[in-house]
Amino acid sequence: MRARPQLKPIAVIRRPSEVILVGRALEATYLDDTDGSTSALLDLLTEGKHTVGELPAAMGARGYTVTGAEMAAAVEALDEVGVLLRAGSDDDLAPSTRRRHESNLRFYDLYAGMRRTSADHHRAMARADVLLLGAGGMGSGVLQSLIGLGAGRIRLVDCDTVEEKNLARQFAYGHYDIGRPKVTAARDWARRYAAGDTVVEPIHEEITGADAVRRLGAGADLVICAIDTPDDVHLMVNEACFDLGVPFIAAGLQYSMLFYWSVQPGVSPCRLCLELGRDEQSATMPELATQHVLRSTDKVNRATGPIAQLLAGFVTLEAGRYLTGTDAPVAAATYHTVELTDGMRTSRESWARHPACRLCARTAAVAVA
């Protein structure tokens, strides 16, 4: 292997006879270092200058006799615990891409390894095709974050025009956009901001049924539901996404509680499962998730800028998991909440597949929990 392993910039604690690596999620890895060879190897890996084949000679120069097989096994084990990168793996991206996406690439480092690099994660995002339903508080925020990440194409659907009250939280628009369709104003913002890196397709349309989602979502990798009408919009999108075979994410604000969740058709239980099982699951699920799925009475929009941005952040992080495979989606069939009026208390509750769900019954891979 010509690739050069490099230790990530994690905390390395050196003790007599022991080295502790503290990386992702504060997980500590304890390594024996009785003869000092582990420290020597970690020093070499910090430099990231040597291929695995070159490591025995480099260790030899430091007074340690090791075999190629031992070095290959050590590098494999360190990669397994997620502390290695492939040195220089950004180099096959254009210099302008490396500059523009520096922070994104360093974020992907958290999840990258010898096999899948940060540049690979970036390329996956740059190819991503997203159907974004809604260009309001959450939708316009998600649009901005996805463009920051360099998503390839976003089909943006909304039927509203920009109003003065939107300026409290919809930062893709300004006072100069008042009266314009949100989708064209958002496209213009995207052009100014990202000079065409992300193609934003404005679709000025009201979503009234699953058919529209199926039509607009053909070929998409992910659907994001940032609308709350009609009342059964989540079940509608759920059904359409089963037909399209793509995951979707939904989120919103109910009174004082932020929530988000996602569905991976054929892999996770779906939204219809939750609806069918709401009586059984009401013991553990938040009240709003189980009892008011179809009957939202809170039509007042009290989402301020920070609330819309929080929601957009949670949703875009989940979108990144689906689109780049950094790690498994955290909200698949799992209802995440943040309660604003209770010290930002968070909760997460998963729901199970319902045996009577006609959609999940189509896909054998979803286990009945």
Task: Give the residues lining the site for Zn ion (CB under 5 A).
Answer: 270, 272-273, 357, 359-360
To the nearest whole angstrom, how small is the minimum distance from the Cβ of residue 362 to Zn ion?
A: 9
Residue (78 or 359) nearer to Zn ion, CB? 359
Residue (112 or 359) nearer to Zn ion, CB? 359
d(CA 349, CA 174): 38
For the CA atoms of 313, 316, 320, 322, the dihedral, rounded to the nearest 10 degrees, stands at 130
Residue (89 or 264) nearer to Zn ion, CB? 264
DSSP-derived 3-state class of residue 241 = helix
Residue (158 or 275) nearer to Zn ion, CB? 275
To the nearest whole angstrom, how small is the minimum distance from the Cβ of residue 175 to Zn ion?
A: 45
To the nearest whole angstrom, how small is the minimum distance from the Cβ of residue 53 to Zn ion?
A: 50
- Which of 92, 366, 131, 149 shows the shortest CA–CA distance to 227? 131
d(CA 167, CA 112): 38
To the nearest whole angstrom, how small is the minimum distance from the Cβ of residue 352 to Zn ion?
A: 10
For residue 115, the one-letter residue type is: R
To the nearest whole angstrom, how small is the minimum distance from the Cβ of residue 353 to Zn ion?
A: 6
To the nearest whole angstrom, how small is the minimum distance from the Cβ of residue 38 to Zn ion?
A: 49
Residue (87 or 272) nearer to Zn ion, CB? 272
Q: Are 115 and 123 in contact (CB under 8 A)?
A: no
Q: Are 48 and 87 in contact (CB under 8 A)?
A: yes
CA 33 vs. chain centroid, Å, equals 37
Residue (271 or 336) nearer to Zn ion, CB? 271
To the nearest whole angstrom, how small is the minimum distance from the Cβ of residue 357 to Zn ion?
A: 3
For residue 93, the one-letter residue type is: L
d(CA 170, CA 160): 13
Residue (222 or 263) nearer to Zn ion, CB? 263
The structure tokens listed for 39 are 């420290």
CA 146 vs. chain centroid, Å, equals 10
The residues pairing with 200 across neighbouring beta strands, listed in sequence order, are: 154
Region at 127 (left for phi over 0; alpha for psi -120 to 50; beta for the rest): alpha
